[in-house]
Structure 1
């Protein structure tokens, strides 16, 4: 037996190794710490003059940066370390104000020719480096106030249905509702009706200045229920938004009574993530006020498109439906190529839209974009700049169109500035509306010093384990040990290549999986080489012993690895977070180690010993 692979098989293995080397190469280029700049809206453009302004502000504060560049998504300033990055973000935020999104990021340094073929480095988990940490606060007071607004509409409808005339329904500064009546009997009937239908109300009657009032407060248990719902709904919505972003192994969880932690490992566009996650956007559909609707309560709002004339419109205060009734939303283009959002409502929302538009054909309906924002003001306290957040609500009209026919569950929103805006609006509506506004309390990279230490210790553990294995194999198996060491090195390269192609996130447990993979890979070689030694002792010629050693050890290697692979699949399907990271690394490592131990090692042995007569083997 000559132990020679055919030329095509050698060529195929070498080709796979070359591809693996190319796709593992980006891991030699670590990411730069960076601050990413983008406009909060399309009208706020990041251009070269703005970038120069940022550079001058950093220079004035003696903050060094590696480079500043314009990208397709805005601007990018690169720094040498995480601490400088954090200081620079504060300076840039103060310089640009609230019209621009300033976000922490990691900027790739992979050469363009590698990126052009889709090659990129492995993403690092938050326990290593490469993620962004957001701490968000839910506005509980506004959550309760929004629920009271819903109650106001319900109460008005119920009183009108029962023909109980009221003079006004108002919000009090203490958060309660006030109903005003002209007649005490009507007031008392309304009180009985509401107590029967709304056990969550605490209702008190009062006579004052010739008028008769009902004061409505929510019970403590109902307030707590609304707050819990707001947190749970916001958690669900934020998870949907993060999933739409395609972030690997994100963390979205509640912290305390009114805060939510969002951690995004391996994020590539932190500015877009911050803009989408933090945007408390909703829609309200309202009819335009008519000149003969003197009794209707109206409000005037500006258009989002500031160039429109006239730039304001007066709308009825009653809301037909809100964004919470949206079941699906897709970004599309109309007949003229302008961006739009195609909307599908849930059954209740479709019924309300149908009922309202049935009597409003030829009237105009507005789509009101409601956004909860916060304005940052900096005050000097004890000689230091202290940031103070002031929340506010911005409502602007996206479109005001004539209702041509009765609407149902499907229609479209036009009047958007760009395809990017329509895509983001569709994403926000599809992910679900936030039950209450959220504000950024904290944003930071997750423990950059801890991440560097974890990386250093993890790499050191792999290096020590790898070096000991190489030394053992070289001493114990000599030439065969050298060939196994080459295959083991190739195995690590292939492992990194597959992880990079999969865009898998490497965590600290994942590094443990790599260390385990090194041990399992060399274990397969030990089984093969031990079998070759046994065959030599049994009197087989060297070439026959090599062939028998590889062939007869295959079944044992396959059985041992397939059981471990099944265990790792179970870990992946049932585990979360770091457990999944370990399972992914272990699964990929098993496949690559079997390939290198059986195919690559045999190719190297064949190239070294195959095709010639041998009297003895160095094993």
Structure 2
């Protein structure tokens, strides 16, 4: 008998209502997007009246997920950046000097005095000069003992350092295996930090991919310019806390061995001579939040981990009355005098910040420092006008395909065709509901996938209706004909859609960019098409049949 259990009917209608509810925010795209951005800004600390009013534009009890528009639809920023991996080699050698110094300090009777050439570090080498050439072999043996195994599958059994002697100089460089492992770690870390920075400031669905050996492709829809994107990711945000040796009025002044001279960010023409080895670095930060200082000016409060808190507390206890420089990316943000012991590992960074600058700085510090600098090889800003043209063309294509299919189904199958058309409209809503739920990005190829789905969505209904026609010719009653039509067409529907779904999966796994966008909408369209054809259309027919009880039907 042609019937559907009550619990199945409730479940089918619940899925439909949920899908359409999730798709609804896309009908009010600009309004919902503004409210979402305002809510994100409030969470980051910008709790202003303007943001609260904007967030209230969309009711909080309704879904607020949107289908993100890709770069080709919305416009945005495109960057191709090269990671300067050699910067990491220099940083490693600079950080290694204290270990070499401490290891050799106890052997001065054999090797004499030791001095290092800070200029050599720029070439990725650490050069240490000893005054007694006869002690070279002993010195080399000591430094080689500082080497560690390479942490890499390809560098198994190798050490991270190469140590050799040149005259009276010990030359230390990273081994080839360690350089390869460092390059790989640097690229992975850069990708993750860029992703965290861009995601945290509220942009939608960035494309961040590695290209080649040392390049990263970054595309962010919705940004007004490539410069705005560079401002977010172009800062390495390397934060250090360094002891101040003295102030200087010129960058040409010699800082002395083991020191460096850096400019002040706020005071023009003022430079600070600092000890090159920091007391604490930004890597030991666990949190950073925008805040205000005691005078109500924007600032950034921070917290160290246990190790950083201990070092920070010990240094401030031992150096009360001495200036202490807070350095960000080679510039001294501030150099306050330590007034008292600062336990607990927390503090505040003050400067001439705006609220926006303090918020962005907190984001950068939370995301972590880029391990190396970036050189932008290519930058493009794609205007929203080009994206709007694509959207308009996609709308026209979708509407033409949609109307043509609706007219064809109604003309070919009459009332049953109208049921299929209702299911098709629900199908489009479910596609956008699933895209919104997953936070997927819709691109121009994705629109093509939806247009293709519109045509494919009625295939299952065509198979069912043609099968019902065949069953009616054998003089069976309407109810039995409808029931057999669905039963006998089911295998063909499943087989056809499974093969197409496998193709969509392969396109998603093997493809990238636009190909993936097409695969996502095609795959989701197949799932919703099967659901609407097998369950929704059948439920509509059963409800109609139960109400009318016709003795004869025409399909």
Is the CA contact (8 Å cut-off) linking 1:169 and 1:178 kept in structure 2?
yes
How far residue 133 of structure 1 moved from its aligned partner, in angstroms, is 0.9
Match of 1:411 among 341, 345, 351: 345
- Tell me the equivalent position of 1:214: 169
Contact kept in structure 1, 2:79 and 2:380, CA below 8 Å: yes
Matches within 5 A, 1:12-23: 19=21, 22-23=24-25
Q: How far off is 1:522 after superposition? A: 0.9
Which SS does the other structure have where 1:361 is aligned?
helix
Query: TM-score, normalised on structure 2?
Result: 0.67
Distance in structure 1 (CA, Å) of the matches to 2:284 and 2:104: 24
Question: Of Structure 1 and Structure 2, which has the larger fraction of its residues in strand?
Answer: 1
- The answer (yes or no) to whether the contact 1:483–1:605 under 8 Å persists in 2 is yes
Aligned to 2:282: 323
Residues 24 and 493 of structure 1 are in contact (CA less than 8 Å); yes or no, is this contact kept in structure 2?
no
> Greater share of helix residues, 1 or 2?
2
Supply the distance in 1 between the matched residues of 2:83 and 2:20 (Cα, whole angstroms). 51
Distance 1:196 1:157 in 2: 13
Cα–Cα, structure 1 residues 356 and 330, in superposed 2: closer, same or farther, change >3 Å? closer
Between the two proteins, the alignment pairs up a number of residues equal to: 501
Partner of 2:205 in structure 1? 248
1:589 is the counterpart of 2:544: no
Distance (Å, rounded) in 2 between the aligned partners of 1:557 and 1:401: 79
The 2-side partners of 1:224 and 1:550 are apart by 67
Residue pairs, 1:385-396, within 5 angstroms: 393-396=330-333
Q: Aligned pair in 2 of structure 1 residues 228, 27: CA closer, same or farther (>3 Å)? A: closer
How has the CA–CA distance of structure 1 residues 138 and 606 changed in structure 2, closer, same or farther, with 3 Å as cutoff? Answer: closer
Q: What residue number does 2:79 align with? A: 134
Unaligned segments of structure 1, at least 5 residues: 33-44, 46-69, 74-107, 206-212, 372-392
Cα distance, 1:438 vs. partner? 1.7
How far off its partner does 1:333 sit? 7.4
Question: Is 1:150 paired with 2:92?
Answer: no
**Deviation at 1:413?**
3.8
Determine the C-alpha separation between the residues in 2 that align with 1:499 and 1:403: 55
Does residue 369 of structure 1 match 2:306?
Answer: no
Find the aligned partners of 1:561 and 1:265 in 2 and give their Cα distance: 36
SS of 2:475's equivalent in the other structure is: coil
How far off is 1:523 after superposition?
Answer: 2.3
**Which among 480, 483, 487 is matched to residue 548 of structure 1?**
483
Q: What secondary structure, in the 3-state scheme, does the structure 2 residue paired with 1:440 have?
A: strand
SS of structure 1 residue aligned to 2:305 = strand
Deviations 1:559-597 (A, max 9, x none): 558856984896599556446534532443244334533
What CA deviation, in whole Å up to 9, does each residue of 1:415-450 have, x standing for no partner?
356886676555545544322222434321359898
Write out per-residue CA displacement over residues 187-233 of structure 1, whole angstroms, 9 at most, x where no aligned residue: 7864675577676345433xxxxxxx637475895896566765554
Show CA shifts across 1:382-416 (max 9, x none): xxxxxxxxxxx4232377656748x7xx8334235
Which of the residues 380, 398, 412 maps onto 1:476?
A: 412
Equivalents in 1 of 2:234, 2:243: separation in Å? 29
Asked if the contact 1:304/1:398 (under 8 Å) is kept, the reply is: no
Partner of 2:548: helix, strand, or coil?
coil
After the TM superposition, which residues 326-475 of structure 1 pair with which residues of structure 2 at under 5 Å, given as runs? 328-329=286-287, 331=289, 340-344=301-305, 350=307, 361-364=317-320, 366=324, 368-371=326-329, 393-397=330-334, 401=338, 404=341, 411-416=345-350, 424-425=360-361, 427-445=363-381, 462=398, 465-466=401-402, 469-475=405-411
CA distance in 2, matches of 1:596, 1:429: 49
Shift of 1:481: 1.9
Match of 1:264 in 2: 220
Q: CA deviation at 1:321?
A: 4.1
**In the alignment, is the contact (CA less than 8 A) between 1:200 and 1:222 conserved in 2?**
no
Q: Which residue of 2 aligns with 1:280?
A: 236
Deviations 1:77-114 (A, max 9, x none): xxxxxxxxxxxxxxxxxxxxxxxxxxxxxxx9xx9569
Residues 224 and 591 (structure 1 numbering): CA distance in 2 closer, same or farther, change over 3 Å?
closer
Matched residue SS, 2:317: coil
Alignment gaps of 5+ in structure 2: 35-45, 148-160, 247-255
RMSD (Å) for aligned C-alpha atoms: 5.6
Q: Distance in 2 between matches of 1:184 and 1:546?
A: 102
Q: Higher mean Cα deviation, 140-149 or 296-305?
A: 296-305
Q: 1:268 to 1:453 in 2, by over 3 A?
A: closer
CA distance in 1, matches of 2:475, 2:395: 44
Once the two structures are superposed, the pairs formed by residues 173-192 of structure 1 within 5 Å of their partners are 175=123, 179=128, 190=139
Contact kept, 8 Å, 1:367 with 1:398, in 2: the verdict is yes
